[in-house]
Amino acid sequence: MSALPNPVAESAAVLRDWLAPFDRVFVLTGAGCSTNSGIPDYRDADGQWKRTPPVTYQAFTGDPRVNARYWARSFIGWPRIDEARPNGVHHALAGWETRGGVSMLLTQNVDGLHQRAGSRHVIDLHGRLDGVVCLQCKAESTRAELQSRLAAANPEWANLDAGTAPDGDADLEGHDFTRFTVPACEACGGMLKPDVVFFGENVPRDRAVRAGEALKASDAMLVVGSSLMVYSGFRFARMAHEARIPLAILNRGRTRADELAALKIEEEAGAVLLAALS
């Protein structure tokens, strides 16, 4: 009796062959890379929202109730980001970089797991959750420091439990968020914000330019674990297509760039990458 086909092994072989001619691959990663680390993603296989879309910059800065709700949920959700560990995707890409195959890793994730796995040539397109910035004086601090201040100001919230949501959020409902105290900047009293790009906010220009230059200096582009429904990520797939840089996508479900890709693989990213890059 012949053995049943192994979809992961077959997909890995296809990806390995596709990557073989290229020495410098620009890699773009998304939320699908971190789901096996216990961090949920936002979208389903069709690229649609699984839950209410994230808070906008305008609401976060303009409505004190939204601001308090954000920080209360983040207070509960942050430890799960802090305790998350890299999975097979992160380790496979870090090992590939060590061997010289990755020109740049551009991630839409804000969890820092690529760096924890050992990747060094990383651009955090949407920033990092482990940093905090004051919107008034631009003073920077760590999320760990703010977590301690949040705990001191809100001891009655410390033992609450809630379901894990994407990007350090938590499904904390049925509480009066007006009773949650949000600390201000210790330097100037200004509003604090996680050092990430919110919806309704632009990616810093220098960050986008640096990523674009890295893409242009690459032989190919590989998208891993992203539907590319957000334009800030999709733009790089479009740039690759316009520059005739070959594009491959490894993602379960539809992406915005499917029609631009020379190769599309819909299998579990970690298993495929570990087999293809070993």
Q: Is 185 annotated as a binding residue?
A: yes
126 is catalytic: yes
Q: Provide the angle, in degrees to the nearest 10, between the axes of the packed helices 7-19 and 269-276.
A: 50
Q: What residues contact residue 212 under an 8 Å CB cut-off, 6+ apart?
A: 236, 239
Does residue 143 sit in helix, strand or coil?
helix
d(CA 222, CA 28): 6
Q: Is 116 annotated as a binding residue?
A: no
CA-based radius of gyration for the chain: 20
108 φ/ψ angles, rounded to the nearest 5 degrees: -85, -10
Tokens of 143: 């999320």
Element containing residue 8 per DSSP (H, E): helix 7-19
Q: Is 100 annotated as a binding residue?
A: no
d(CA 125, CA 23): 23
* Length of the chain measured in residues: 278
**Which residue out of 90, 91, 114, 126 is catalytically annotated?**
126
Give 122's strand partners. Answer: 105
Q: Is 55 annotated as a binding residue?
A: no
Give 99's strand partners. Answer: none
Torsion of CA 197, 201, 206, 208, to 10 degrees: 80
Q: Is 109 annotated as a binding residue?
A: yes
Q: Is 33 annotated as a binding residue?
A: no
d(CA 127, CA 20): 31
Q: Is 120 annotated as a binding residue?
A: no
**Among 132, 148, 128, which residue's Cα sits nearest to residue 79?**
148
Q: Is 253 annotated as a binding residue?
A: yes
d(CA 14, CA 21): 13
Q: Is 111 annotated as a binding residue?
A: yes
**Annotated catalytic sites, by residue?**
126
Could you list the residues known to form a binding site, using ranges.
Answer: 108-111, 134, 137, 185, 188, 225-227, 251-253, 269
Known binding-site residue numbers for NAD(+): 108-111, 225-227, 251-253, 269
Binding-site residue positions for Zn(2+): 134, 137, 185, 188
